[in-house]
Each structure stands twice: as C-alpha cells, then as structure tokens.
Amino acid sequence: MKKLTVAESAEQCCKKCSMIFLPAVIAAIFCFMLSTVVFAAEAKPLYLDPKAPVEQRVEDLLKRMTLEEKIGQMTQIDIEAYNNPKESHVSIDEAKFRKFVREFKVGSFLNGIAVPPERWYDYSMKLQKINFEESRLKIPVIYGVDHVHGTNYLAGGTIFPQSFNIACSFNDELATKMGKITALESADLNHHWDFAPILDIAVNPYWSRVYETFGEEPLLAVNMGTRYIKALQGEKGIAPYKLTACAKHYLGYSYPRSGYDRSPADIPDQYLYEIFVPSFKSAIDAGVMTVMVNSAEINGVPVHASKRILTDLLRNELGFKGVVVSDWTDIINLYTTRKVARSEKEATKLAIDAGIDMSMTPNTTMFCVYLRELVKEGAISEARIDDSVRRILRLKFELGLFEHPYPRKDRFNRIGCAEHKQANLQAARESIVLLKNNNNVLPLTNVKSILVVGPSANSKRNLGGGWTLGWLGRPENEYPANMPTVYTAIKKQFANADVQLLEKTGAAGTPERAKFDEMAKKADAIVVAFGEEPYAEGEGQINDLNLPVEQYDMIRTIQGTGKINILVYIGGRPRLLSPVSDKADAIIFAGLPGFEGATALAEILSGAVNPSAKLSISYPSTPGHCIPYHHKPSDKSTAQYPFGYGLSYTTFSYSDLQIKGLSDGKVQPNGKFEAVVKVTNTGKTAGKEAVLWYLTDEVGRITRPVKRLHHYEKISLNPGESKTVTFVIDAGKELSYPDEHGKPVMEDGFFTLLVGDKTARFELTGTGN
C-alpha cells in the first residue's frame, strides 16, 4: 500500500466528507481545521513554490482538490449576486459572498460599474481576503471586467473611442496604446481578466454591437486585435502583476440573419473560415490566454453546444490551449431559449462536452450542483473536469495570482494622467471621418456666430455609448465634470465667436421654433449633433436603419434656413444619412469618439486638426440592402459611402505604382515580391493619409470577393512632400483563400492590385490548379 503524506491524507478525508454528504457547515469546519494542520505540517506545498515549473504546480494542486473545489473553479459569479447596494455600487455583502466561496468554492467573479480607484482597491482587497479565509487550498480569485475601450469601468480612467472608431484611424499603434493604457490603469485594481478585444466582424449594420468591433474587414481585427492583446498581456509597467485579454465572441456572432443580438446566423463553412476565423487565429498566435464564446447559434447549432466549433476547430485546428468561458447565462440558455436541452442539467452536459471550461452563470450556483451530479452519475468524467481545471489553474499561475493576489494603491497617479489623456485625444482625432465638405466649408474660419443644435449637442453620455461607466452608460451627472460636450468644446475652440446652444428646434408655431428662428438668423453656421443614445447588446435592437423622424425633421428645419449646416453623426452603427445628406454642406461621422471626442471634433471643425480617418464599415444608403464591401461580383453595393472612404482638408495623389521582383509579371506559389507607390500631398495643408492596398482575385473556383484589403499604412505628409510606400506580397499568404475545410487554395490566374486610383495586374502560375 502507498504511504500517504499528511496532505494527501487530508485531501482524501475532505473528499470523503463530500461523498458521505456531511452537513455543509460541519464539513467546512472539519476540513478547515484539518487543512490548518496540514499547512502546519507541510509548510510549503509544491504548488505554492513560485520557483517550481507551472505544470508541476498545476498537477500538485489539482491532485489535492475535491470535486467540489474543481467545479468551483469552473464557475463565475456576477457582482450583483453579492453586492451591497446600500454601501456602494461596488461592494460586498459579506454573508452572501462567503456562501459562494465557502459552500460552492467559486473561483471567479466579474463586473461592476465605474467607481474611483480607491473604492475598487477596497473592494478587491476585501474580496480576496475573504476568499483566502474560506479557501482550504488558498486558491486566489480571478476577476473579470469589460474594459473594452480603455478603463471604462473606472472613474477617472482613460476612456478611448470605441473600437470601430479606432479602426477608422487605420493606425495600429492606437490599438497598442489602448491596450497598454488599459493595463497600466486597471492591473493594480485586481482587474486580472479584461474581456477584450472584440474580434467579431461587423458585416450586418443592424447588429447592436457594431461599435465594439474593428469594423467589417477581417484584416483590421487581425492587426488591431493582435496589437491590443500583445500590449495588454505584455505590459511591463504593471509588474509584478500580469493581465489576460479575452478574444470574443468566438465565432460568427456578428452575422445574425435578422440583425438582432444573439439571434441565429447561417454561415457556410468556407465563409466562416475566410471572414470570421482569421481574427481569432491571429489572437491565438499572439498568445491570447482566454476566449469567450458566441452567445448565438450557427447553422442551427448553438455555439455553446458545438463540439465542432469549440473543440475540433478552436483547440485541434487553431491550437488554442487556454480557458474558454461562456458568455452571460448562455449555458442556461441552451435550455431556456435555444431549446436544445430538456433541462438545465442536460444543458450543462452539452456545454461541458462541447468544450466550455468556465460558466458565467452568472447569478446562480445550480451549475455547480448539476455538474457535480453529472460527474457522480458518470455522465461526465472527472478527467474531463480536470482538463478544464488544469487550464484555469494554469492561467492563475501564469498571471502570478498566487504570489501577488492583492491590489495595490501606490500608483493611482497614472490613472487618467496627462500622457494617457493625450494618447486618447490622438485616437479621437484620427478616428473621426469627414464624409462631405461642399465648397470646402470646413474648416470654419472667420465665423462670428455658431449655433450648436441637437440631442447630442450637450450630451456626455452619447459620446461614449454603451460599456461606458456602466453597461448601458450612466446618467449624465455621473460623467466627469471636466469632460467636454460638443457644445462646450466648440465654445472653447472658437473662443472669439458667439457660440450658442439649442437642443431642439421645436415644431412650427411653437415658442421653441420661434427661439430657434431668432438664434438661426444670427448664426454664420449651424452644427447639428444627432444620432443614437447609449445601448448595449439586446438593449440596442432596431428594425430600421432610419433615425427617429424627429431628428430628420430637425435637420430639414435647419437646412431650410439657408445657413451653413454641418451634420455630426454620433452613434454606434451607421444609421442612415441619405434622407438629409443632399442639402448638408458638410457631414462628419463621429461614431463614438470617447471622452476626448468632443475636443477632437471641435479641433477638426476649426482646422486645428486635419481629419485623416476613413470608414471601417460600408455606410448604407438604404435600410433594405446592406452588404459589406467584400461582397461577391454577382451582388452590388448600394453604400452611400464605401469602406475606406474619408476626406481631408488637403489632397493626395498616387503615382509611379510599380511591381518589383517579378519576371514577366508572373509569380510562383512560394514567391515574394514588392509593390511600391509614391504618395504626394498636393494640397496646402499638412495631413495624414491611410494608404490602403486591395487585391482582386479575378477568377476562383469558389467565387471571390470583388476586392479585399490586404495591407494598409498611415503616413504623414507636409504640403508638397512625397513618400514611397511599399507592400510586400507573399504569394502563399496574400494570393490564397481557404476552402470549406479551412485548407488554403491557390489557383493560377490574374490578380489586380489597387491602391488609391492606381491599378496593376500580375499573374500567379505554377499552382497546378
């Protein structure tokens, strides 16, 4: 018989307690007393030795754990389940919280709203201390927060433009800065797990989460998502802490047939591999440590129950070795809304069999109960549980949570500091798109009077959108007192002009209309700030891309004055501009530009900043026919403004496009060559130009898109200055496409290269196809 150590004897005894169903309180007291003796006898178990290899630590801890402790590690609970609202929005009702960690051994928690760092510090310290008081094996909690555009759940934090704005910049460095600053401002608060970046591809403009994505082109999500992950997970300035990013929402979440959030998607396998897989593959290659699952279904199979998507594709094909977490209530939803399970218990089995590691339950512990029953009944093996727990423990060890479990409060001075504010302002400046500028009415010069009108004219919350200070934003009075609105920013920027505010024009014949008429007469220009109010997920469902008729009526009233009218759209998806665009003198797509967005907008209006952004989405002209720019030749785009469109206050010319390194214009499958073009600032103003390189595969066995973006680079040019820009074309990477099994296909044939208004043609040969 094997001689057991004191620790092993203790583990066996704890397991027997659960097997014979001792009352929970008695069992907990007994195990706690026994564990005290064990830790005294065995001063430093291997898993608590920071010098030991991570895999050895994982296995040492895993073998000590009871089934209940393992299942607790697979459970994630929301703050609302134990919050004490009488104390603070971010607080702990101790009795409720102790029950989660004592009885159910829960190992992960999430969420909150924006409160000062001192409140987060007190909360995180208390949470981890209580956990250690109750945890037999002293396993630290891992805490998750949706910091999706900067530290948007931290009062005083740096809140960037939303991701689809960042993508409009075509400047990958801004994604790096957002990841870096998010890490620097959140790590000390024990926000270990950042539920970002969002790597969905925004191919349906009705979807209520368009603004969270990097737009409709996978390359933007590939490049910017990778930059964000590497910056957040690799930031040295947060030592001794480490953070994990979370690639979400795997996979195909952003293509709902109806446009409604969490509704069914029909996605052919080939299209799945070509459009939706690349951003997640790149995230995995970049070392992302966690993945969150698509809440909806693909081709009739909920992704939370799809072994093909979660195991065969994610783990076996893409090589992901990290933690897979469900989204909000989505295991339960397999029973309640998806109707693929006859009970919540059966839903739990489906999800675990498919490959889920952790359930964001998020307000119930029935997952723990059902999963334990499934193991005891033999429906799920304990070995399967061990697979998930290994991954979760490995994550906690790799993040250093066992060595550094508590928050710290000596570096709060960098939260919202001047350097971070400047980076945020740069992001806003480069992410606001000028769509129309008739007769160069912008920038506004020599104006003596400006009237600022509209529902977003003096709103702070509309500039941030959802996931800002709270899930659906917060009341206006909770936003920073020094945060500019469109009106206050314009008033400051145009200090020598008379800048007036009027949020509504009113109906004809009303005192409101009379007031507007009087103010409009005095104005040299009228800026109209309109669009959407904050929303998130299913709270943002729409049936029509048209805006409320009241907003169009307001704009038409303003246009009827004959004064210069500048339309500024503020919103999280492309609501239609076509009903009022013809009579607009200028149109600006501000999107959701964040806390420095109003300042950046005012600088663009005045000419202090030259706009350089280009659309990361196709802007529809009608509510009924909306397709991305990378559609098939048999379809036709009716976009009012195409992907990649954006104006500047200067002009750029493209010339001398050359293809170098090819013999007779032909390339072999393993070949590599360069395309170069000269870009010149032909205007009188310094500016930045995003140089976009497209390729068209002229003929393919599987129909090819009309064009795809393959490379981009942003350059700065002074008036009269030229620069040569290069695109290195690796044939194996750039001239292939995936088949329905994800295997690369290369075929002989011609390709057209497009950059600016220049094109070149070359031929791929020697593929055998």
Distance between CA atoms of residues 601 and 690, nearest Å:
19
Q: Where are the alpha helices (DSSP H) in 259-303?
A: 269-271, 277-285
Residue 76, C-beta contacts closer than 8 angstroms, at least 6 positions apart: 106, 108, 109, 110, 144, 325, 358, 359, 360, 361, 362
Asked if 569 and 579 touch (Cβ cutoff 8 Å), the reply is no
- Cα within 13 Å of Cα(366), Cβ side: 12
Per the annotation, the verdict on 327 as an active-site residue is yes
186: left (phi over 0), alpha (psi -120 to 50) or beta: alpha
CA dihedral 200, 248, 275, 163 (to 10 degrees): 40
Q: For residue 473, list its beta bridge partners.
A: 471
3-state secondary structure of 658: strand
Distance CA 528, CA 609 (A): 20
Strands 564-570 and 586-591: parallel
Instruction: State the distance between the two ends of the chain, measured CA to CA, in whole angstroms.
Output: 65
Q: Are 196 and 233 in contact (CB under 8 A)?
A: no
Q: Could you tell me if 618 and 639 are in contact, meaning their C-beta atoms sit under 8 angstroms apart?
A: yes
SS3 of 709-756: EEEEEEEEECCCCEEEEEEEEEHHHHCCEECCCCCEECCCEEEEEEEC
Name the residue type at position 126. K
* Cβ neighbourhood burial of 6 (10 Å; 0-12, 13-18, 19+): middle
Catalytic residue among 78, 327, 330, 697: 327
Q: Specify the 3-state DSSP secondary structure of 502.
A: strand
Q: Is 370 exposed, middle or buried (0-12, 13-18, 19+ CB in 10 A)?
A: buried
| Distances from the Cα of 303 to the Cα of 226, 270, 273, 355, 427, angstroms | 23, 17, 15, 10, 34
Element (H, E) at 435: strand 433-437
Longest dimension (CA), the chain: 98
**Residue 648 exposure: Cα atoms within 13 Å on the Cβ side:** 24
Strand partners, 676: 658, 726
CA distance 764 to 769: 10
CA distance 548 to 553: 9
- Give residue for tokens 């191919």: 203
Residue with tokens 């094996």: 137
**Pairwise CA distance, residues 152 & 174, whole Å:** 16
Pairing of strands 666-667, 75-78: unpaired
Residue type, 552: Y
**Cβ(569)–Cβ(531) below 8 Å:** yes
Relative to beta strand 246-250, strand 290-293 is parallel
- Give the C-alpha separation, 665 to 650, whole Å: 35
Active site residues: 327
